[in-house]
Structure 1
């Protein structure tokens, strides 16, 4: 079986992983990764961390438990807070132009109806 080394942040989230035979081949190269904070993990644990075993109990994936060293469900995502309703900030000049266009459309419709009457329509 191929050895996997992974590095985790302080919250237990996997930051990166390296594989023997791809990223390193000698014990000296392996030791460089170990010195940088990488630790050996099993393939099954790796499958949890990369999402191949689902998204955990909270839908946020898996993190490494500091006590057991095993994957556990990550905490739920924090709620998104909105401070206020979004409002459209349309400049007064643009608003006046838009209102004028709406008014013009009404006038065009009235003129078309009058023209239809003059041509003998209804």
Structure 2
């Protein structure tokens, strides 16, 4: 079976077509070649689709620009570890702090009112 594959600039396979499935005639084959597809062997195809393992770095295989053969893809980029503390929503935090401050002012106001009422009640009998 003949395979035609298309690769991106980094050598990653983006599409594959097969004779007898995707094209029948030489004209149809040529249209794929004109569209950037290149012939690959069945063995190369098995590398690109992962049937021959994940390569040296476990990231699969890419097409070497010089030889046109499968080579191990580079290692996956290092991913920064997620922060251990959840992110802080500054707007929500400010709203909670403002609410707490308002509640503290209300408690103080209630204490003042209670003191004034006690003073007034204590002064009525005199």
Q: How far apart are residue 80 of structure 1 and its match?
A: 1.0
- For 2:5, what is the secondary structure of its paired residue? strand
Structure whose CA Rg is larger: 2
Match of 2:63 in 1: 64
Normalising by structure 2, report the TM-score. Answer: 0.67
Measured in 1, the distance between the counterparts of 2:58 and 2:80 equals: 19
Shift of 1:86: 3.1
Once the two structures are TM-superposed, the CA of residue 56 in structure 1 deviates from its matched residue by: 0.5
Partner of 1:10: 9
For residues 72-102 of structure 1, the C-alpha deviation after alignment (integer angstroms, 9 at most, x for no partner) is 0000011113585533549439xx8xxxxxx
Q: Structure 1-normalised TM-score?
A: 0.69
What's the secondary structure of 1:33's corresponding residue? helix
Alignment CA distance shift 1:88-1:11 (3 Å) = same
More helix by share: 2
- Give the paired residue count: 94
RMSD: 2.3
Distance in structure 1 (CA, Å) of the matches to 2:57 and 2:64: 15
Structure 1 unaligned spans of 5+:
97-122
In structure 1, distance between residues paired with 2:14 and 2:73: 14
Residue segments in structure 2 that go unaligned for 5+ positions in a row: 101-126
State the match for 1:23 in structure 2: 22
**What SS does the aligned partner of 1:45 have?**
helix
Q: Secondary structure at the match of 1:51?
A: coil
Match of 2:79 in 1: 80
Superposition deviation, residue 12 in structure 1? 0.4
- SS of the residue corresponding to residue 6 of structure 1 reads strand
Distance in structure 2 (CA, Å) of the matches to 1:51 and 1:76: 15
Q: Secondary structure at the match of 2:47?
A: helix
